[in-house]
């Protein structure tokens, strides 16, 4: 989410009056803003996308809730020491959080472990350990529309009778200390981006979020007075008309078996009706095709932690494979490929397969990514249910990523085309009529130069690095990952360095290359890439022959608040992932919106950006699926095969 103060003032339309009022009091609003911690409750693009969607939904006046975990420690703070990353805990709640309101009246129980027993009324999950989910509500103000939605974050709370056994044994102190064990569920965010780590505590977190959220949704559905209500039970058939559950990747995919469990074991509908309700309520957004990122939980972990859910998943899979069998009789290999249960090696549950089976809609996050899903990773599922598969190209909120972070450019745009673009971004095309106007060009360039100067001053003040504000700001900020190819950028730096050294008097456009981003603490290669960039920077920055021509800066602790300061100052945006690996990217759009040029591959949303701006306005390199497709077609036509 980043910070809330400035965003709230902007969306409420009170920024300038607050600014003025504080000035009258002898205070500086910008100084106060710097005191707020970032809410860093996600890892990278996926979490920021959710934050942008919350802003957009509130601005559209949609009745939407965001649900998540109130991690006591968010994404770690990154320190660069001797060129290497060191992690520090993100103790963001240390001084309190004025934006949240605890709602103990809506606290809910979540069960773990235990066993399943057969009773006359059906299956029962018994002898469980209970942890409470305490909700904290965070306001999500719409832009200029008097709407405020809710982001509800769950915090783990030990039940009063936790470890009562110890009380009886007289070990009161130990019983109180052990309350921490249950509350560890919401202690810390797992810091992997696009990597699956099969830790039990992580599975607990995922179920904790789903179980609490579904109880909340069902409570609200029951409390609403629409639809028919039988004397003793709720009619859930109408739930899909009122409730849409959008799964942000597979991380909340336990919502599918959990909704089935609540309906079948507790609320009354028979399996077939419950399944119909579940599939019509749930939809799944896929965020990656990297095999190492796909969640595949060991069955052994489910057996212990969520035994009833494992049974339900097995039954979902049994019925699903019957459908596959009906459609492709005897195709055993297809059955194996499409199963939610992987049997080779350690038995695992494939959460993406479960999500597709349990959803009425499945989407990728950029055109190319949605095509890859249909033609490659989930081809079998596409052949079975083509109507489920869609594309929803990612987006960003233009309020935070232009109005808030680049007020001078915003004002310049509004001067020309009015202010409706803040809620209808397509109106920016109206600017085309001034594209060749030298006065407008000069005004835009002046804003960019001022933004660059401000960033240079900030880097000098906060990090003691001096940069040349008239050099080209070439910026590569995102999580560090091999597929994002910060290493390729580093090799380019070395190439530029060698060129300068070989011919020091040759003409050279002065560049300041800035690279920033966090590596997952356990990602060895990513950490080595950070070290390499810093060691290369040491050589380049201290070579008198290179001088002012080339500087390399590692931007420490990249996060939303730093992005807001860096992006408006960028001349060149680096979006150079290996083609076919970045599902969409959203950093690419933030830079484009702030007037940077892009150098990039035909990957993710870069493809659609290039279509919108024209290939002449973007620097594309590398594998071109479009072109190779066209060449392939031409070859087939030439050979008389098409």
Ligand X SMILES: *Cc1c(COP(=O)(O)O)cnc(C)c1O
398 contributes a contact to ligand X by CB under 6 A:
no
The interface region with ligand X, picked from 12-20, 284-292, 308-316, 553-561 by CB under 6 A, is 553-561
| Interface residue with ligand X, options 74, 114, 191, 585 (CB under 6 A) | 585
Locate 425 and state its tokens: 């971004």
Q: How far is the CB of 394 from ligand X (least distance, A)?
A: 8
| Interface residue with ligand X, options 247, 563, 570, 602 (CB under 6 A) | 563
Number of residues near ligand X (by CB under 6 A): 13
CB 356 within 8 A of CB 377: no
351 contributes a contact to ligand X by CB under 6 A:
no
Q: How far is the CB of 624 from ligand X (least distance, A)?
A: 21
Q: Name the nearest CA neighbour of 520 among 331, 341, 293.
A: 293
Q: How many CB atoms lie within 10 A of CB 251?
A: 18
Known catalytic membership, residue 484 = yes
Known catalytic membership, residue 528 = no
Query: In degrees rounded to 5, what are phi and psi of residue 14?
Result: -120, 15
Locate 253 and state its tokens: 């995919």
Per annotation, catalytic residue among 287, 374, 452, 485: 287
Closer of 388 and 478 to ligand X (Cβ): 478
Locate 409 and state its tokens: 């450019």
Closer of 158 and 598 to ligand X (Cβ): 598
Closer of 402 and 500 to ligand X (Cβ): 402
Closer of 312 and 560 to ligand X (Cβ): 560
Per DSSP, the three-state class of 586 is: coil
| Interface residue with ligand X, options 74, 141, 358, 587 (CB under 6 A) | 587
Known catalytic membership, residue 590 = yes
Site string for ligand X, 509-548 (x = CB under 6 A): ----------------------------------------
Place of tokens 């992997």: 192
Q: How far is the CB of 393 from ligand X (least distance, A)?
A: 13
The CA distance from 375 to 381, in Å, is: 10
The interface region with ligand X, picked from 129-137, 445-453, 503-511, 586-594 by CB under 6 A, is 586-594
48 contributes a contact to ligand X by CB under 6 A:
yes
- End-to-end, the C-alpha distance of the chain in Å comes to 51
Per annotation, catalytic residue among 251, 374, 476, 479: 479
Q: How far is the CB of 184 from ligand X (least distance, A)?
A: 26
The interface region with ligand X, picked from 179-187, 367-375, 454-462, 581-589 by CB under 6 A, is 581-589
The CA distance from 513 to 183, in Å, is: 43
DSSP letter for 572, please.
E
Per DSSP, the three-state class of 418 is: coil
Question: What per-residue string of b and e applies to 79-111 under the rule 16 or more CB within 10 Å gives b?
Answer: ebeeeebeeeebebeeeebebbeeeeebebebb
| Element holding 6 (H helix, E strand) | helix 5-12
Q: How many CB atoms lie within 10 A of CB 526?
A: 23
Q: How far is the CB of 555 from ligand X (least distance, A)?
A: 11
**Longest Cα separation, the chain:** 89
402 contributes a contact to ligand X by CB under 6 A:
no
The interface region with ligand X, picked from 251-259, 529-537, 540-548, 554-562 by CB under 6 A, is 554-562
Per annotation, catalytic residue among 70, 452, 478, 485: 478
Known catalytic membership, residue 479 = yes
44 contributes a contact to ligand X by CB under 6 A:
yes
Closer of 416 and 527 to ligand X (Cβ): 527
CB 123 within 8 A of CB 306: no
45 contributes a contact to ligand X by CB under 6 A:
yes
Site string for ligand X, 441-480 (x = CB under 6 A): -------------------------------------xx-
Place of tokens 């006046």: 61
361 contributes a contact to ligand X by CB under 6 A:
no
Closer of 452 and 518 to ligand X (Cβ): 518
Q: How far is the CB of 342 from ligand X (least distance, A)?
A: 29
Per DSSP, the three-state class of 640 is: coil
| Element holding 627 (H helix, E strand) | helix 625-638
Query: In degrees rounded to 5, what are phi and psi of residue 512?
Result: -115, 110
Residue nearest to ligand X (CB): 587
Q: How far is the CB of 350 from ligand X (least distance, A)?
A: 25
The interface region with ligand X, picked from 231-239, 421-429, 508-516, 557-565 by CB under 6 A, is 557-565
Which residues share a beta bridge with 553? 514
Q: Name the nearest CA neighbour of 266 among 206, 208, 214.
A: 214
What are the E-state strand segments in 9-147? Answer: 65-69, 77-81, 84-88, 101-102, 108-112, 115-119, 122-126, 129-141
Strands 341-342 and 296-298: unpaired
Interface residues toward ligand X, by CB under 6 A: 44-45, 48, 478-479, 558-560, 563, 585-587, 590
Active site residues: 287, 478-479, 484, 586, 590
């Amino acid at each position: 989410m980043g910070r809330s103060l400035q965003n709230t003032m902007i969306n409420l339309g009170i920024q300038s009056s607050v600014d003025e009022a504080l000035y009258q009091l002898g205070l500086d609003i910008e100084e106060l803003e710097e005191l707020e911690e970032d809410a860093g409750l996600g890892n990278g693009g996926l979490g920021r996308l959710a934050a942008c969607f919350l802003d957009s939904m509130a601005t559209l006046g949609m009745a939407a809730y965001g649900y998540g975990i109130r991690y006591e420690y968010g994404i770690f703070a990154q320190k660069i020491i001797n060129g290497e990353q060191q992690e520090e805990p993100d103790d963001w709640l240390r001084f309190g959080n004025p934006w949240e309101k605890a709602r103990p009246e809506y606290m809910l129980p979540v069960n773990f472990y235990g066993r399943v027993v057969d009773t006359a009324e059906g299956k029962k999950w018994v002898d469980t350990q209970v942890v409470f989910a305490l909700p904290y509500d965070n306001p999500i103000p719409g832009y200029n529309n008097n709407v405020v939605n809710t982001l509800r974050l769950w915090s783990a709370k030990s039940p009063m009778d936790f470890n009562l056994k110890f009380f009886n044994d007289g070990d009161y102190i130990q019983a109180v200390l052990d309350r921490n064990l249950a509350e560890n569920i919401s202690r810390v965010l797992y810091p992997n981006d696009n990597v699956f780590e099969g830790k039990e505590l992580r599975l607990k977190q995922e179920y904790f979020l789903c179980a609490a959220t579904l109880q909340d949704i069902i409570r609200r559905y029951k409390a609403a007075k629409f639809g028919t209500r039988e004397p003793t039970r709720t009619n859930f058939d109408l739930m899909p008309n009122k409730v849409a559950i959008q799964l942000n990747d597979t991380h909340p995919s336990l919502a599918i078996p959990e909704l089935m469990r609540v309906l079948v074991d507790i609320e009354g509908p028979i399996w077939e009706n419950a399944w119909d309700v579940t599939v019509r309520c749930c939809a799944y957004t896929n965020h990656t095709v990297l095999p190492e990122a796909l969640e595949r939980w060991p069955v052994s972990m489910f057996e212990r932690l969520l035994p009833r859910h494992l049974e339900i998943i097995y039954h979902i899979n049994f019925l699903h494979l019957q459908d596959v069998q009906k459609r492709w009789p005897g195709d055993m290999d297809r059955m194996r490929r499409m199963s939610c249960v992987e049997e080779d090696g350690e038995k695992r549950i494939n959460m993406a397969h479960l999500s597709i089976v349990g959803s009425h809609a499945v989407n990728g996050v950029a055109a190319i990514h949605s095509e890859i899903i249909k033609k490659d990773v989930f081809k079998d599922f596409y052949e079975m249910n083509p109507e489920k598969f869609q594309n929803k190209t990612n987006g960003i909120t233009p309020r935070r990523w232009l109005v808030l972070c680049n007020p001078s450019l915003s004002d310049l745009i509004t001067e020309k085309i009015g202010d409706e673009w803040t809620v209808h971004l397509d109106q920016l095309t109206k600017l085309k009529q001034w594209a060749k106007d030298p006065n407008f060009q000069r005004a835009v360039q002046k804003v960019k130069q001022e933004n660059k100067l401000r960033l240079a001053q900030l880097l000098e003040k906060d990090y003691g690095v001096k940069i040349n504000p008239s050099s080209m700001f070439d910026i590569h900020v995102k999580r560090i990952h091999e597929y994002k190819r910060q290493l390729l950028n580093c090799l380019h730096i070395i190439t530029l360095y060698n060129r300068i050294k070989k011919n020091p008097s040759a003409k050279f456009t002065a560049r300041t290359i800035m690279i920033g981003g966090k590596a997952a603490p356990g990602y060895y290669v990513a950490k080595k890439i950070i070290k390499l960039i810093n060691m290369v920077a040491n050589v380049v920055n201290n070579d008198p022959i290179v001088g002012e021509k080339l500087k390399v800066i590692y931007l420490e602790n990249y996060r939303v608040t730093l992005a807001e300061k860096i992006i408006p100052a960028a001349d060149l945006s680096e979006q150079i992932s290996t083609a076919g690996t970045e599902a969409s990217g959203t950093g690419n759009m933030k830079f484009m919106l702030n007037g940077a040029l892009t150098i990039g591959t035909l990957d993710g949303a870069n493809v659609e950006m290039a279509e919108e701006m024209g290939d002449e306005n973007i620097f594309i390199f590398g594998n071109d699926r479009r072109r190779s497709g066209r060449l392939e077609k031409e070859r087939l036509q030439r050979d008389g095969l098409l």
